[in-house]
Structure 1
Amino acid sequence: MTPIMQNSYDLASNTQAVRNRVLRNTYWLLALSMIPTVLGAFVGVSFQLPMPSGFMGFALFLAIAFGFFWGIEKNKNTGVGVALLLGFTFFMGLMMTPLLTRTLGYSNGASLIMTAFGGTATILAVMASIATTSKRDFSAMGKWLTAGVVVVLLAMVANIFLQMPALAIALSVMVIGIFSAFILYDVQRIVNGGETNYVTATLSIYLNIYNIFTSLLSLLGLGGSND
């Protein structure tokens, strides 16, 4: 093997090692982030903490969430970024309080939650597997998925005032589809070297999982039983 070929081989090996490390660290941090999420949900449900609702509540949620996003991105290369990410996941657990309280009010509420969890885990496993094994390039999906998120956010704001059950159902289905596709996009960005920071990568995939889970649970709640 010539020196040039050897250098190219070493460079490719190092690059692949970096990508594998980012993906591995992302999965570990993602698993860790579930702990504060569950803790936040437990605290919220146990103490029946009131969550802001309506348009002002939605605006407050976005302000806090984007504040976390800014802080995490600014400190993504330090331990502060990890701490902020875990703090954000605790906050998101708290924000599930109304949905979980309503679901647990059904006689089969615990079963619905486990079903939503299992469905979310299945979607994550399938999409992540496709992203890491498929030769297809999913990078072109990014702009369309982002546009879809904007449409969903606008529709959510509209439904705060309209209160249309059919629109709420349609939004849940759209969210599941969009963020399932986002898992493909985000995981492949790591695999292809487009994302090299595991904190940023974890935040992206966490948001995908969170939105899929809550939307699935909302849809399953339609079949909740009070018997």
Structure 2
Amino acid sequence: MFPNTQTQRTVDLTKGGQVATRNKVLRNTYWLLALSMIPTVLGAFIGVSMELPMLGGGMGFIIFLAIAFGFMFGIQKFKDSGVGVALLLGFTFFMGLMLTPLLRHTLGFANGGTLIMTAFGGTACVFAVMASIATTTKRDFSGMGSWLFAGVIVLILAAVANIFLQMSALSIVISMLAIGIFSAFILYDVQRIVNGGETNYITATLAIYLDVYNIFTSLLHLLGIAGGDRE
């Protein structure tokens, strides 16, 4: 009886330690995600108030990808140090700057401020619902990873094509699909933390930040089309 009892205690302690570690990663991820919104807002404010010019078209998209992937490479490389946090915050500032064209377009509407706040509120609701499901459900979402990645590739190809096609209908479809795909990504990314698949809060924050960012921009784009008031 005694050896079995000791073994069970060891197992229980091990499980308890794993749960505590996962909860710590999740807690730190949420804190860093909230912190990352500050440079994002600052970057957006600077971009809009200073009317910074942004490169458009195919060349602008290529430059954006080069800078974004450069930041993400650096974050991945230094994910175990404070440098990784600094790079992440720098990346979120850059992404805030990249909101400039969309925000300026939206603020051109009479109800532009309302649309932005609505998109922000809608994004927060989506995140809250999806994160809650991911942390409470017993369903395993790990199998969605490959499908979601394929969906992102399709979205990128469609977005590149629409740079040249300039089809409003395709733009709407892309935004709707993006909201669905990145909402599902929140389920996937948060559950990876809960299940122990992601143990670094810096890279976890990066993944969830990109989910939230894409939902916000896609939702704001749709709101501008459907509810923008020019009067």
TM-score w.r.t. the length of structure 2 is 0.98
Name the residue aligned to 2:171: 168
SS where residue 140 of structure 1 aligns? helix
The Cα of 1:7 is off from its aligned counterpart by 0.7
- The whole-number CA distance in structure 2 between the counterparts of 1:191 and 1:173 is 28
The Cα of 1:226 is off from its aligned counterpart by 1.4
* One-letter identity of the residue aligned with 2:142: S
Q: What are the within-5 Å matches in structure 2 for residues 27-46 of structure 1?
A: 27-46=30-49
Q: What are the within-5 Å matches in structure 2 for residues 129-140 of structure 1?
A: 129-140=132-143
The Cα of 1:182 is off from its aligned counterpart by 0.1
2:223 equivalent to 1:220 = yes
- The whole-number CA distance in structure 2 between the counterparts of 1:126 and 1:9 is 31
The Cα of 1:123 is off from its aligned counterpart by 0.2
The Cα of 1:11 is off from its aligned counterpart by 0.3
Name the residue aligned to 1:120: 123
SS where residue 118 of structure 2 aligns? helix
* One-letter identity of the residue aligned with 1:32: L
1:182 to 163, 185, 196: 185
1:18 to 17, 21, 36: 21
Structure 1 gaps, min length 5: none
1:58 to 37, 56, 61: 61
The Cα of 1:12 is off from its aligned counterpart by 0.3
2:94 equivalent to 1:109 = no
Name the residue aligned to 2:157: 154
- The whole-number CA distance in structure 1 between the counterparts of 2:136 and 2:206 is 22
Structure 2 gaps, min length 5: none
**Alpha-carbon displacement from aligned partner over 1:103-161 (angstroms, at most 9, x marks no partner):** 01111000000000000000000000000001100000000000000000000110011
The Cα of 1:95 is off from its aligned counterpart by 0.1
The Cα of 1:3 is off from its aligned counterpart by 1.2
**Alpha-carbon displacement from aligned partner over 1:43-83 (angstroms, at most 9, x marks no partner):** 00000001111000000000000000100000000000000
Percent identity (aligned): 71
SS where residue 142 of structure 2 aligns? coil
Name the residue aligned to 2:7: 4
- The whole-number CA distance in structure 1 between the counterparts of 2:87 and 2:57 is 26
- The whole-number CA distance in structure 2 between the counterparts of 1:152 and 1:9 is 45
1:209 to 193, 199, 212: 212
Structure 1 stretches of 4+ moved >3 Å: none
In the alignment of these two chains, the number of paired residues is 227
TM-score w.r.t. the length of structure 1 is 0.99
- The whole-number CA distance in structure 2 between the counterparts of 1:52 and 1:80 is 29
Name the residue aligned to 1:68: 71
SS where residue 87 of structure 1 aligns? helix
- The whole-number CA distance in structure 1 between the counterparts of 2:10 and 2:54 is 57
The Cα of 1:185 is off from its aligned counterpart by 0.2
- The whole-number CA distance in structure 1 between the counterparts of 2:162 and 2:62 is 14
* One-letter identity of the residue aligned with 2:10: N
